[in-house]
Structure 1
Amino acid sequence: MTANADKIAQAESHFGVRFPADYRHFLATEGSMSRFVPPADDFLMINSIAELIEVNEAGEFQEYFPGSLVIGGDGSREMLTYDFRQTPPPLVLLDVSAQDWSSAVHQAMSLTALLEQFPETGWKWEDTDSSPS
């Protein structure tokens, strides 16, 4: 097992979840990202494996959002979060001041889907139940 794969396995063990395959691959190959994504020009940050535990244990986030795993955000107040209450876990956006899951705004069903759509759509700020036809 490589050092990075070992860190991923340790983080999964810490949180008691198995990360989705595309997120594991991202962590193993790219590690993290932090940049404005054109043409949407929204800022997208995905934390490194080393930052996961610290970010997720900050404040009382785990108490308000059991089953959550924050993996990044918009570089400000919004946190990109896996919702492990569902299988497979979708990615949602949560404001740091949110009190419960009702504030979650669906972003994508996978990291791959998010990264593919993000340059065009940027962040979704309203939860819509409509799916593309």
Structure 2
Amino acid sequence: MKKRIAASGVAVAALISTVLMSSPAQAGPQCDWTGCSETINQSAYSVYVARDWCDGVGACSGSPTDWLAPGERTPDGQDWDTFRVDPGWCYRVNFNPGLTRTYDRRGSSTGLWVKVSNPEEAVVEFQSRSSC
């Protein structure tokens, strides 16, 4: 009887492991084993952020969003997956460690959602409507 119970326990553990391992990875409010994605605003203007990855352009429906004032950052221990480059603006962003990108939406009527992967920090260094 003990062998049957032990075998049943092993089978249940294997089934649970299979279900957990086959679940698709998804962006969301949880950090993974590498850490969280964060956005830091070191620019002179506010930055719009979202907890979940958005579709890339336009609105970000269904995801908690917030504005980061100059000098603010997303809360520690929370996973914030994206920020928006506003239409008509140019943003310079440093993705730690040391990758700087420029997103130029001047002349565009739509914003652009930029993904911040775990465990990256996206540091918005500069925003301007007139120059990059």
TM-score range, shorter chain: under 0.3
Tell which has more relative contact order, 1 or 2 (C-alpha 8 A, sep 6+): 2
More strand by share: 2
Bigger Rg, structure 1 or 2:
2
What TM-score does the superposition give when structure 2 sets the normalisation length? 0.28
Instruction: Give TM-score, length-normalised by structure 1.
Output: 0.28
